[in-house]
Structure 1
Amino acid sequence: MKIEVEVITKETIKPSSPTPHHLHHHQLPFLDQLAPHVYAPFLYFYEFNGSTNVTQISKLLKTSLSKVLTQYYPFAGRVRNNLFVHCKDQGIPFSEVKVKTHLLSDVITNPCLSELHKLLPFKPDEVTETALGVQLNVFECGGIAVGLCISHRIADARSCFTFVNNWAAASNCGQGNKNSIVGPDFSAASIFPPKKYGWVFRGSHHQQA
C-alpha cells in the first residue's frame, strides 16, 4: 500500500525556557558513543473521535513539547563529533503533514513497512546532528498519527518511553498533572566517561579516521 504525503507546515520547536549556560555542553557517555547512529522510530495512531480539531491539536502538541524540552534540553541540541551534545536550544523540527488517499484504518490493518517511514520526520538510518524530530500526520478521515524519531545516541528505549509519557502528561493540561512528569537524569557520563577513538562512524558502520 503506497502512502502519499504532502508537507503543510514545518517549523522549529525550542524549549520554552532557555537552557542555563552551565548545561550547554552535555557529554555523551561511553555506552552512547558506541550506540548505532540511527534513529529509534515511534508511531502513535489516534482515530477520529467526531470532534478532531487539527489546529488545536497541533498547537497543544507544540506548546507541551516546548515545555518538556526544557527538562530534556539535550533533545533540542546538536550532536558534535560523537563526543557531546551542544545544548543551546537549537530546537527540533516539527512538521505537519497531510496523508492523501488513505484512511487511518487502512494503514493500521494493512501496513506496508517500506512505506511507513513517510509518516516519520527522518528515515531510521539517516544520520544527522539533530537528536529528535516530530511529524504530525493528518488523514483525510480525521484520524492522526504522531511520528517521532529519537537518536539512539541520546536515548535508549526506556528514555524514549519516559520522554513520550512526560510529553503526554504535559499535553493533558492542568496544574495537577505536573506531578506525573518524571524528570530525566543526564548524569551517565559521570559513570561511563566518554572516550576518544581513532575512527569515526559512517552511518551504522565505522572506519579508520
Structure 2
Amino acid sequence: MEVKVTSSTILTSPISHASDVPLTIFDRFALNLHVAILFAFTPPTSTNTDIISGLSNILVNFPTLTANFSTNSHGRPCLTVGGSDGGVLVVEATVSSKLEDHLPLTPSPDFRLLHPEVNDAKHLLQVQLNRFQCGGLVIGITSHHRVADGQSMGSFIVAWGKMVRGIPVDPLPVYDQKWLKPRDPPLVQFDHLGTEFIPLSPQPNEFKATPVYADPSEITNMLLHYTPEFIMRLKAHTNKLNTEKQTTFETLTGYIWRKVTIARQLDDEEGTMLIVGVNGRRRLQPPVPSEFFGNLVLHAYPKTKARALIEGGVVMAAEIVREAVRATGNDYFRSFIDLAEVYRDSDLVACHEKRGNVLSPNLEVNSWLGLGLDVVDFGGGGKLCGISMTWEHYEGLSILIPSLSPDGDVDVFVSLFEKDAMRFREISHSLD
C-alpha cells in the first residue's frame, strides 16, 4: 500500500484560556495509550475541507480532546485544556490503490499507514483522511484512552459526522461529575489494590506481576465474521439449559474464550481468566447519563480452569461471563470511587501497565457493539463499508465489532500467537 501524506495541520483548542481538568480515578485506570480505528466509505464522499471544518466546529463541544497531559498546582495528573501544546493533529493523504482492493477491512500491518503514529504521539486526538484512487475514503482516528472510553468516542465520531452533514448535534456531551462524589465516610469494600491498581507497598506474596513480552512478528491478527444465524444457534444451545436468556455479548464472549483456550492447548489445570470491560453508566445508581464524556469503565474478571471451561462448553463459559459482569455493579463502582478519596494524593499505577504484550493464558474481550460506530456518516452520499482495527502486537486481545449488515452480524477481532491462530481458525465456527 502506497500512502503519500499531502498536508498536516493542527486544529487549535476552542478554549481561549488554559484551564486544568483533574484526571478522575477512572481516567487513571484507563490504558495509557492511543486506540486506533479505521472507517471506510465508498464514493462519493464529503470533501476534506468539509470534514475538517466539521471537526473544528464540533470540538467546541468536546474540548478535552484538544487538551494535553500535565500536572496541576498540587502535583496531580490533569488535562490542560486551551494550552499551547494541545490541539488535534489532522493529516491528509492519498493512496495509489483502489479502496475495493482492501475490502473487507481485514487487519493488516499496512493499515498502520492510514493513521498517524501512535507511539509517543504528541496530540491526544489524531485524524488522517486517506483518499483512494477511486474516490473512496478511509478515516483513521487515534485517541488517547485516558481522555475518553469507547462509548464517549463513539458519541464524538457520530456527532462529528452530524456536524459535517449540517444536522443538529443532539444530545450534547455531558461533563458533570457529581456522580464521582464519594460516600461519607468513604467505604472501600473490594480489593481494588491488587485488582485495578498495584498495592502501594505490596508484601512478597500480595502482588505478583511478571510482564511477558514476545517478538511482535510471532503475533498475528484476524477478523472473524459471525452471522445472526450462527449466533442464534449458539444462543439456542445456551438458553435451553438456562432459565434466563444469555445476551449476544455473553454468549459470543464465552464462545471465543473457550475456543481460544482450546487453540492454545493449555494444561488441564491451568487457570484462564477473561478481562471484560464493564460500562459504569448503566451500573451506577442512579445511572449516569449515557452522554457523559470521559472514562467510566472497569473490568470484570471471569476465571476458571482450562479443562473445566472446555468440558463445560459454551453454556458454562457464557454463565461464568454473566456472573462476573453482574457482580461488577453499583457497589463495586461506588467502592472504586471511594478508593480515590482514600488514596487521593497517592501515585496509583494500574495493574495492566505491568502486563507486557502477552496475555496468554488469559484473554481480554471488549465490545464495540452498541457504541453507534455502525451509523457513522460523514455525508456525500457514499456508504460506510468497513470498520476495523489496524494491527495489534498485543497477544490475547479480542474485540466485538458491529458488522455493517442490517441483520445483526458481528465481526470479532482476535490477536494471537501465529501457532495458536492456525488452530483457532480451524475451530472458530464449530459448535462442538
TM-score normalised by the chain length of structure 1: 0.78
Provide closer, same or farther for how the CA distance between residues 29 and 146 of structure 1 changes in structure 2, counting only shifts above 3 A: same
User: Residue 95 of structure 1 is aligned with which of 80, 91, 105?
Assistant: 91
Aligned partners of 2:159 and 2:90: how far apart in 1? 18
SS at match of 2:60: helix
What is the aligned residue count? 189
Corresponding residue for 2:231? none
Could you tell me how far 1:109 is from its partner in structure 2?
2.9
Are 1:84 and 2:78 matched, yes or no?
A: yes
Could you tell me how far 1:168 is from its partner in structure 2?
0.8
Matched AA of 1:34: F
Could you tell me how far 1:205 is from its partner in structure 2?
4.3
Corresponding residue for 1:155? 148
User: Residue 108 of structure 2 is aligned with which of 104, 108, 113?
Assistant: 113
Q: How does 1:37-52 map to 2 (within 5 A)?
A: 37-49=32-44, 52=45
Answer yes or no: is the 8 Å Cα contact 2:29–2:350 preserved in 1. no
SS at match of 2:156: helix
Is 105-114 or 60-69 further displaced after alignment? Answer: 105-114
Aligned partners of 2:31 and 2:133: how far apart in 1? 36
Answer yes or no: is the 8 Å Cα contact 1:13–1:93 preserved in 2. yes
SS at match of 2:138: strand
Aligned partners of 2:146 and 2:137: how far apart in 1? 28
Matched AA of 1:43: L
SS at match of 1:153: coil
Corresponding residue for 2:310? none
Q: How does 1:123-134 map to 2 (within 5 A)?
A: 123=118, 126-134=119-127
Matched AA of 1:138: R
Could you tell me how far 1:181 is from its partner in structure 2?
4.5
Q: How does 1:53-202 map to 2 (within 5 A)?
A: 57-80=47-70, 83-88=77-82, 90-100=86-96, 102-109=97-104, 111-123=106-118, 126-173=119-166, 177-185=167-175, 187=177, 190-191=180-181, 192=337, 193=340, 195-197=345-347
Aligned partners of 1:46 and 1:75: how far apart in 2? 24
Answer yes or no: is the 8 Å Cα contact 2:66–2:124 preserved in 1. yes
Are 1:10 and 2:8 matched, yes or no?
A: yes
Aligned partners of 1:132 and 1:67: how far apart in 2? 15
Aligned partners of 1:195 and 1:74: how far apart in 2? 23
Greater CA radius of gyration, 1 or 2? 2
Provide closer, same or farther for how the CA distance between residues 196 and 80 of structure 1 changes in structure 2, counting only shifts above 3 A: farther
Matched AA of 2:10: T
Any unmatched runs of 5+ in structure 2? 182-336, 356-432
Aligned partners of 2:40 and 2:105: how far apart in 1? 14
Provide closer, same or farther for how the CA distance between residues 46 and 195 of structure 1 changes in structure 2, counting only shifts above 3 A: farther
User: Which structure features the higher share of strand residues?
Assistant: 1
SS at match of 1:109: coil
Identity of aligned residues (%): 19
Q: Deviations over 1:151-170 (max 9, x none)?
A: 00001000010000111111
Answer yes or no: is the 8 Å Cα contact 2:58–2:159 preserved in 1. yes
Is 56-65 or 70-79 further displaced after alignment? Answer: 56-65
Q: Deviations over 1:69-120 (max 9, x none)?
A: 11111100111258111111531110001112x2111212363422211111
Q: Which structure has the higher relative contact order (CA within 8 Å, separation 6+)?
A: 1
Is 139-148 or 105-114 further displaced after alignment? Answer: 105-114
- CA-based RMSD of the aligned residues comes to 2.8
Aligned partners of 1:169 and 1:44: how far apart in 2? 15
Q: Deviations over 1:37-84 (max 9, x none)?
A: 1112121111123xx5xxx61111111111111111110011125811
Aligned partners of 1:121 and 1:181: how far apart in 2? 30
